[in-house]
Structure 1
């Protein structure tokens, strides 16, 4: 995971450095007009871009090691908007739905792949939601200061850095053989499998890189990869140690689910292995969980004339004064 993080952070700072250098070069060559002369309100690169995308998501945690995380990828959808401050820098907001998952027992060509996690026999999936706010910095200036955004470069690379919050809902598939013998999905947070009821929300810090290609004056296509650092180790409901099953007899859990919680806290008996003693290592709480999203999106940039028309209408509406009528 550290290799991915270092790569993304390094790429981000390289992008910022290149942006500053390119901007200075354009000013030196006379390709960028002075903002003091024209005024910031005349910057035609300003405007709004809307986006919709889809991709894949995966995570790093106790049920997904570096070598097999990509194989456990799940779908992702996003909607967003981006405001361009100038030819290089934008602020963007996005809402996303993404699914992550992992399992100890993995199969390849119908055969069990043995690892040091196989006998633990834990698994999960989680349908999550995310809201983020970030800065996007393009490596190269898209236009000169006096040109509208529809004259932008045909291709550009950018860095992303921002913050947000994610809601996560880990669940697992299990057949209750002491009940109706029907397999179903159980929401793990309410079962407190490690004796802890953790928050459904976690703050996140994201960093990533992307590439954008121009399709038409108003439409771009982009591909980006971004990693999210979280403040929780329970994206997969696994973090600490096994607890004594007597805990579930008095825990704040629905009565009809207490035996389910006890069974899901240690799933070795399902595959014919003895239960582990209380205090046995179940997860690794020395590091937090994280996840990444690789996505493709379509972006629509509002034409400059239409954008300025909307701004003008808003200004007129704000400052319009009613003129009294005289007879």
Structure 2
């Protein structure tokens, strides 16, 4: 767990180390309308679904994420943004109120989304050089839940463990907040927290009821109901397996390094801000 949070500690340290020495340079490199931006993000994830309990802080089950994005500043307060991401999540019934069902999963998934970022204050505000922002957008993810069984990893979706063939490319809705913690020349470091709502309840391959095991392969049946591995009798077909009333999702807390791309218009603006050479 601590290893995933290390980038955040480094970023917070940068707030105190970099910013005082670069305040004047930061003013030169303020983002103006028509500025292009590129960024890379490293974060920690937490899945929300039927194999996790919101209040169980002792077992957060943190994963990791890596994202690349491009953005275009449309105005002093609005940025258009597109992003591609790879994220790892996992969950388990262990340490939950229904640990007797003994199910678990892990998943390494890609997602893409497009949306907008809105600053609380304009970039040229005289007394607020850094502005928090909100963001929101829509996109797609590919779900690839897997589980370990007898020393091997198996793709759960292709086994139809609930007897259904669900869509593996669901729509996602992402929203969150961010804050630029420091800046140096054309580089900026943001801390960002988002939640991604997945328009599917099968991110963890778990949603409704136990199927008729007689209609499944022995491997699919073994991965659909794993109670026998802990000495309990199997569930009956139709017994509750998951909660279909609420879709799944995932939180991401990340550090985002933003690079201001220099364009001909951009270079002219920055020369104007520096003034004539002495």
- TM-score calculated relative to the size of structure 1: 0.69
Aligned partner of 1:8 in structure 2 is: none
Q: CA deviation at 1:217?
A: 2.8
Q: 1:44 to 1:228 in 2, by over 3 A?
A: closer
Q: CA deviation at 1:174?
A: 0.5
1:96 and 2:85 are equivalent in the alignment? yes
- Structure 1 unpaired stretches of 5+: 1-42, 107-114, 145-150, 176-182, 249-257, 310-327
1:161 matched to 2:150? The reply is: no
What CA deviation, in whole Å up to 9, does each residue of 1:68-88 have, x standing for no partner?
A: 377111010000011001111
* Whole-Å separation in 1 of the counterparts to 2:173 and 2:181: 26
Query: How far is 1:305 from its partner?
Result: 4.2
Give 2:51's match in structure 1, choosing from 63, 71, 74: 63
Which residue number corresponds to residue 37 of structure 2? 49
Per-residue deviation, 1:304: 5.6
Deviation at 1:286, TM superposition (A): 1.1
Alignment correspondent of 1:31: none
Checking the alignment, whether the CA contact within 8 Å between 1:57 and 1:99 is kept in structure 2 is yes
1:283 partnered with 2:242 = yes
What are the within-5 Å matches in structure 2 for residues 82-231 of structure 1?
A: 82-106=71-95, 115-143=96-124, 154-175=129-150, 183-231=151-199
Deviation at 1:168, TM superposition (A): 1.2
Q: Confirm or deny that 1:245 pairs with 2:213.
A: yes
8 Å Cα contact 2:227-2:233 kept in structure 1:
yes
| Structure 1 residue matching 2:60: 3-state secondary structure | helix
Query: Is contact 2:32-2:73 (8 Å) kept?
Result: no
Residues 164 and 203 in structure 1, CA contact (< 8 A), matched pair in contact too:
yes
**Contact 1:156/1:213 (8 A) holds in 2:** no
Match of 2:26 in 1: none
> Which string of whole-angstrom CA distances, capped at 9 and with x for unpartnered residues, describes residues 125-166 of structure 1?
01011101010001111116xxxxxx9964220000111111
Question: Take 2:198 and 2:86, find their aligned partners in 1: how far apart are those partners?
Answer: 16
1:74 maps onto 2:33 in alignment: no
Runs ≥4 residues deviating over 4 A: 304-309
Aligned-pair distance for 1:293?
1.1
Larger radius of gyration: 1
Determine if contact 2:32/2:123 at 8 Å carries over to the other structure. no
- 8 A contact 2:61–2:91 mirrored in 1: yes
Go from structure 1 to structure 2 and tell me whether the alpha carbon gap of 1:96 and 1:74 turns closer, same or farther (over 3 Å shift). same
Asked if 1 retains the 8 angstrom alpha-carbon contact of 2:181 and 2:191, the reply is no
Shift in alpha-carbon separation, 1:50–1:153, aligned structure 2, 3 A = farther
Per the alignment, in what secondary structure is the counterpart of residue 155 of structure 1?
A: coil
What displacement does 1:96 show? 0.3
Counterpart CA distance in 2 for 1:213 and 1:192 is 46
Q: Give the Cα separation in 1 of the matches to 2:93 and 2:267.
A: 55
Partner of 2:254: 295
Write the distance in 2 (CA, Å) between the matches of 1:194 and 1:44: 52
What SS class does the counterpart of residue 213 from structure 2 fall into? coil
Shift of 1:213: 3.0
Number of equivalenced pairs: 237
